[in-house]
Structure 1
Amino acid sequence: MNNEVQVMPSTVSIIDSVNLNQLANTMTKIGQMQSVIQKTLRQNHDFGVVPGTKKPTLLKPGAEKILMLLGLRSEFEIVDSTRDFENGFFQYQVRCRLYKNEMLITEGLGACNTRESKYKKLDPFTIDNTILKMAKKRALVDATLLVSSLSDIFTQDLEDMDLNGTNIDESSKQTYTDTSGTISKAQAKRMFAIAQGSVDTVKEIIGKYGYTSSEDVKKTDYNKICEEIESKLKDDFEGTPLS
């Protein structure tokens, strides 16, 4: 029996083996790539901005655009799943692998299930495909953030935030809309995202409808308020003189 203890190389020995000039060039290229990506992606389409969060949230269109810029392709694998038709519970865990030609670069993981807060009030038997697609999307965003060194710029904590205020079964394009009661937290966040984080703009528009807080906004007024916020921002932008 071999009782010898293997000693791992020290940090100094690892650093000694690194070409610092090459490392500096690589870090410069990473910074340049991050700058290009930030200038290329569009807010509320490729990424979302939620007031109170430290980083913008990378969305699926943004992740796909980044992979195109890097010349990478994605492959997906379902690593675990549950399809319980008796009790109406569906869950998927998906792995996304990113390749450069035939070389595996990195991989990401994503999961989704019908008991999540945004899905638990819906008919689970009609959103099976939506749950799978959401797990794939989360895995894709996870892998993209890893491969592009963008974790210090974007987060994926809210990568599936409700930018449309509804939940959509992408396979059938059926929209599930609940118009009873007040808006959800996700819908309130979307209002601020549309307003590009301007609290004053949101307060001004909801004030027209007699609200003093976004928590009091009724779902029946929600779409009209979002449209007014969008319209106001467009008018403000067009009325701003170019420097």
Structure 2
Amino acid sequence: MSEAIAKTENQTNSLSLIMGTDQNKMASELQAISNFQTMVQKQLKNGQDFGVVPSTQKPTLLKPGAEKIQMLMGVTSEYNVIDKVENYKDGYFDYTVKCVLYKSGMQLTEGLGSANTKESKYVSRDGFSMKNTVLKMAKKRAQVDATLTIASLSNVFTQDVEDMQQFNQRENTETMTYDEAFNLKLNFGKNKGKTMGEVMNENRGYIEWLAENAKKAEFKTAAELLLKGKPAVDQAPKEDAQPASEDTGEMIATSQQTRDIANLAGDLATKTQSGSPMSTANEVLQQIVPDWKGSDDDWKNLTVAQAEDAKSQLQGLLAAFDKK
């Protein structure tokens, strides 16, 4: 009896809330949402901002589309990793990211996104090489989730991760690096389970065949990258490179090279649980650069050759630790 009375009271309260709403205002707000949705649909481009996946009812909102919507609304975004699993022993990485959207300093909404290296599109790749990729994917999913909420676009677009598979594959192919290609595992044929790099060392002819005949774009792209060879240091983009001195003509390390050192040192520090990424990097560089103290001037004058030497040593230390 008491449950029936409570149910009746809840229904009455809900009805009172509806009756107390300014219906003209509500109609105006709904019309504004509808107008905004129409404008968004006209501004976004199929295949770039969203993708129509066969057999699905709604198009899938992609990262460029989410960014464009946020720009139209004049909002800013902030990202935080709220949960993570970093299993260096097995090469398994899992991240959950929260995206918070702000307008004039006021929080409007938030979205969540997660990704891990055991997802079907990543299982054929080396887990360690995909660490940053899955982190970026989690960030992207959080961004799209928040955008769909703030713009009331859930009835226009979807964010079905499985439906986005073909777009993820295209993105993975377009952004593939030489190292990712080298560590990509074959999942078919007599070389199943081997990495593309291993096969390249054993049978270059098969890699040449894949570059011409592979049905999957990721294997075709990986084969093409391997055949081109690893980019030489002097061929890599040097967005901030300049002569270290007029006497030697040595080139100053690029910001990308210093970031690579920091990332490798961070991974090593995490695995060994000894020291910070900076102290780890400085310990390695002290063995390479005379009188290295880790000062700002030291880093500013780090040369390309010294940076590459440091990266090689850090990679060797990581590999040695993994074999233990």
Q: Say whether the fold is shared (TM-score over 0.5).
A: yes
TM-superposed deviation, 1:179: 8.7
Do the aligned partners of residues 104 and 167 (structure 1) sit closer, same or farther apart at CA in structure 2, a change above 3 Å counting?
same
TM-superposed deviation, 1:167: 1.8
- Corresponding position: 1:64 with 2:61: no
Aligned to 1:161: 165
Aligned to 1:145: 148
Q: Secondary structure at the residue paired with 1:91?
A: strand
Do the aligned partners of residues 174 and 162 (structure 1) sit closer, same or farther apart at CA in structure 2, a change above 3 Å counting?
farther
Do the aligned partners of residues 44 and 56 (structure 1) sit closer, same or farther apart at CA in structure 2, a change above 3 Å counting?
same
Do the aligned partners of residues 86 and 180 (structure 1) sit closer, same or farther apart at CA in structure 2, a change above 3 Å counting?
closer
Q: What is the alpha-carbon distance in structure 1 between the residues aligned to residue 79 and residue 49 of structure 2?
A: 21
TM-superposed deviation, 1:108: 0.6
- Corresponding position: 1:85 with 2:88: yes
Q: Which amino acid aligns with 2:110?
A: E
Instruction: Count residues with an aligned counterpart.
Output: 184
Whether the aligned pair in 1 keeps the contact of 2:129 and 2:180 (CA below 8 Å) is no
Whether the aligned pair in 2 keeps the contact of 1:112 and 1:132 (CA below 8 Å) is yes
Aligned to 2:40: 37
Q: What is the alpha-carbon distance in structure 2 between the residues aligned to residue 131 and residue 144 of structure 1?
A: 20
TM-superposed deviation, 1:101: 1.2
Larger-gyration structure (1/2): 2
Q: Secondary structure at the residue paired with 1:10?
A: helix
TM-superposed deviation, 1:16: 2.6
TM-superposed deviation, 1:142: 0.5
Do the aligned partners of residues 88 and 23 (structure 1) sit closer, same or farther apart at CA in structure 2, a change above 3 Å counting?
same
Q: Which has the higher contact order (CA 8 A, sep 6+)?
A: 1
- TM-score after normalising by structure 1: 0.67
Q: What is the alpha-carbon distance in structure 1 between the residues aligned to residue 75 and residue 179 of structure 2?
A: 32
- TM-score after normalising by structure 2: 0.51
Deviation per CA, 1:150-208: give whole Å up to 9, x if none. Answer: 111100004753336362596968664789869xxxxxxxxxxxxxxxxxxxxxxxxxx
TM-superposed deviation, 1:218: 2.9
Whether the aligned pair in 1 keeps the contact of 2:93 and 2:131 (CA below 8 Å) is yes
Which sits farther off after the overlay, 154-163 or 115-124?
A: 154-163
Which residues in structure 2 correspond to 1:219-234 (within 5 Å)?
219=216
Q: Which amino acid aligns with 1:40?
A: Q
Larger strand fraction of residues: 1
Unpaired segments ≥5 residues, structure 1: 183-216, 224-243
